[in-house]
Structure 1
Amino acid sequence: MKTGKFLFALCLSTCLFTKASLSNAETTPTVPDARGNCTLTDCDDGGVLSYDETIAQIVKLYKNKEFNSLEQGFKNLEQASVKIDTGVTGDEVIFYAFKAIYPGPGNDPSEEQRLAAWELEAKGSIFLEYANIAYIRSLAWQARGGGFANTVSSDSWQRFFQRLAQTEEMLTKASEKLKASPLWGHISLNLAFDNEHSTISSTDMFAYSVRKWPNYYGFQESVMPRLLPMWGGSLAEVDKFATYWSGQRTATEGTSLYARLYLSLVSKGVTPQQTQYDWSRMSASFKDLIARYPSPTFPELYANYACLQHDESAAKFALSKVHDLPFKFEYWVDNSGKNFCLTLLGQGLSASVN
């Protein structure tokens, strides 16, 4: 993938946003401070779902073939009045739930039977339609495997591209209802990344998707790792991209998107020390992220980054926002700064936190 394509797309998409998007952000939290006060299948207007628990519940309902409950849960997720504690959209939760269900290498061999059973209970469901497409794409990666390109056999490459072609055909022929969903845009963008010979242009799909679904940040999260040096990019390009998109969304996200985009790299196995973020900007972004969204992951991750930087003031602030004590390092992503944080906790900080 040529990173220049994305610099072009980034510039192209500048004209898709009004000056209003660069205005000062509201300081009130976007999601109420009510962590996980409802469940996927029982969530009224104004409810707040836990991201981690909701992913786990989707996987459980799917694996247990409780498809009526699953369909109801998906409908709940798509209500604008139902919030996620991390601040992502319901559609993004659905996308990453199916990433967990269909990991590619390691797929459950009984998935086709589950999908057939779902079809009997919910024919015409766009969620089922999406699941079928996501499953076929995962079979491509199962055929290829997760190793470096030079370790993949010619037969595996052939099966990989055959499955990708099948996925692309399904996306092209998808229902208009699914094409109106960011789920379609997200998997289409990823497919374009998978196959440089795809008729789907990654540049065009990215520009189209961020314009059509501006509050869905999975598109930017998919681009972030593709700008890394291992894909021919640079750490400077990664930071430029994160800075640009954070600036584009200040009206709705303040400065919080900068940290969110870097955290998306962590979820893909890229440690903080393998990136080149601006610490001053990152620290301010984390504070905004914590103020807006009540997920327990954000204070811990901020503490992790602050302790890596040996920034005592930021670390103390982050640790004071940790929801559950004693501190368990549950969401820790890099142990290099752990001793620094343990020292601060040993100074009695934990005793002063309610």
Structure 2
Amino acid sequence: MSYIMKKPKCNNIFSWAVGLTASLILYLAPTGATATETLQAIKNIQSEVSRALANEQFAQINAMADNLSESRERLPDGRWKLSFVIYGLTGDIPKRDASAWHARLQLMDRWIAATPGNPTPYVAKAQFLLAYAWDARGNGYANTVKEEDWPIFRQRIAQARDTLEKSANISKRSPLWYEKMQDIATAQSWPEEDFVRLFREGAAKEPANYFLYFNAADYLLPRWHGSARQLADFVNSAVAATEKKEGQTLYTRIYWSLLWALEDKTFSPGYADWPRMRQGFEDIVRVYPDNWNLNAYTYYACMAQDWQTARIIGAKLTTVAMELWKDPQVYKRCMQEPSSGRQKSAAHIQQPASHPR
């Protein structure tokens, strides 16, 4: 089943700036010092939102979201800033702290009651309920979830869906509505034809919202509702629809978005092709030469054992982003000459262990 519709006749559908970084490990900003302008910008957005929420300055958050929705302003790495307004709303809540989660839920409801005509509090509450559901379930495989936690997970996912559907005449004005509904569809195991319909509707309205493509890729993972072949077909169709303006950008962005799932299997047979991904990184950094993007380019070159590219791009880094590399020794080993006698492999790359959403 093809996910990509025929391109509308509008000539400037993809005329907004090239690409969005797809790394989902950055939905929540790091708490310490950051290595790139992008990470600092995310931290600033989420800090401003957290302060406003704590003080119940709901109109301030709505105005920020409205402005970013209108301007489609991007981070230095190319992602929409808008997507980060509602992430981080639960990052300070301890796991399984029922009283803290309940207090935050009440705050979400006060936000809606205070500004019922704005779409942002509804998508924010849906995001909250999704996080609340995953707090009950945990991020492990299905066979690691306690039987008594499944009904709680399903109930909270259903509440997120109910929030979006009942407010659709208002909340659908936000591009984030489709992102959150995709997360719900994946969690509820929607039939593929229903998920495709949702994706197409969202992409028709916001064809440059690459998070829609990233969420579709999540859905098509073998661990969810697809296969490596279905995922590859989707990626190829997405690139074909955007290649004239984006080159291989979307190829790289989508597979990068799956780092949490593919880990060191990214370049296994049936998944990403390094020459195409390398070209995608070239297309990305030509427009967004942010240090985060350059770190990721180096990181994946190392994973692919393309040592020459790793050293060339690695030499351009202003700072080594530990948020990605995790261990400075991993970067150092990547930069070593292969002729040093030490066997190098993708095993040197340490991957994030869980999906943060």
* TM exceeding 0.5: yes
Aligned residues: 314
Q: Could you say what secondary structure the match of 1:187 adopts?
A: helix
Contact 2:322-2:328 within 8 A present in 1 as well:
no
Report deviation, 1:309: 2.6
Counterpart CA distance in 2 for 1:219 and 1:97 is 19
Is 1:301 the counterpart of 2:296 in the alignment?
A: yes
Contact 1:310-1:340 within 8 A present in 2 as well:
no
The unaligned stretches of length 5 or more in structure 2 are: 20-37, 341-357
Structure 1 partner of 2:65:
74
Contact 1:51-1:93 within 8 A present in 2 as well:
no
User: Structure 1 residues 51, 247: closer, same or farther in 2, change over 3 A?
Assistant: farther
**2:43 alignment partner, one of 43, 46, 53:** 53
> Does 285-294 or 49-58 show the bigger shift?
49-58
Q: What is the TM-score of this pair, normalised by structure 1? A: 0.73
> Does 13-22 or 276-285 show the bigger shift?
13-22
Q: Percent identity?
A: 24
Structure 1 partner of 2:250:
257
Amino acid of the structure 2 residue aligned with 1:277: A
Q: What is the TM-score of this pair, normalised by structure 2? A: 0.72
> Does 165-174 or 213-222 show the bigger shift?
165-174
Is 1:93 the counterpart of 2:88 in the alignment?
A: no
Counterpart CA distance in 2 for 1:219 and 1:271 is 21
**1:231-259 superposed Cα distances (whole Å, 9 cap, x missing partner):** 36433433332232122112442321111
Structure 2 partner of 1:3:
none
Is 1:112 the counterpart of 2:105 in the alignment?
A: yes
Structure 2 partner of 1:185:
178
Contact 1:247-1:255 within 8 A present in 2 as well:
no
Report deviation, 1:335: 8.6
User: Structure 1 residues 163, 119: closer, same or farther in 2, change over 3 A?
Assistant: closer
Counterpart CA distance in 2 for 1:137 and 1:281 is 34
Report deviation, 1:140: 2.9
Is 1:132 the counterpart of 2:122 in the alignment?
A: no
Structure 1 partner of 2:285:
290
Is 1:273 the counterpart of 2:268 in the alignment?
A: no
Relative contact order, higher structure (CA 8 A, sep 6+): 2
Amino acid of the structure 2 residue aligned with 1:287: E
Structure 1 partner of 2:160:
167
Structure 2 partner of 1:145:
138
User: Structure 1 residues 63, 121: closer, same or farther in 2, change over 3 A?
Assistant: same
Counterpart CA distance in 1 for 2:8 and 2:97 is 41
User: Structure 1 residues 60, 302: closer, same or farther in 2, change over 3 A?
Assistant: same
Structure 2 partner of 1:237:
230
User: Structure 1 residues 279, 102: closer, same or farther in 2, change over 3 A?
Assistant: farther
Contact 2:86-2:124 within 8 A present in 1 as well:
no
Amino acid of the structure 1 residue aligned with 2:175: P
Contact 2:220-2:231 within 8 A present in 1 as well:
yes
Contact 2:175-2:206 within 8 A present in 1 as well:
yes
Counterpart CA distance in 1 for 2:214 and 2:289 is 21
User: Structure 1 residues 122, 180: closer, same or farther in 2, change over 3 A?
Assistant: closer
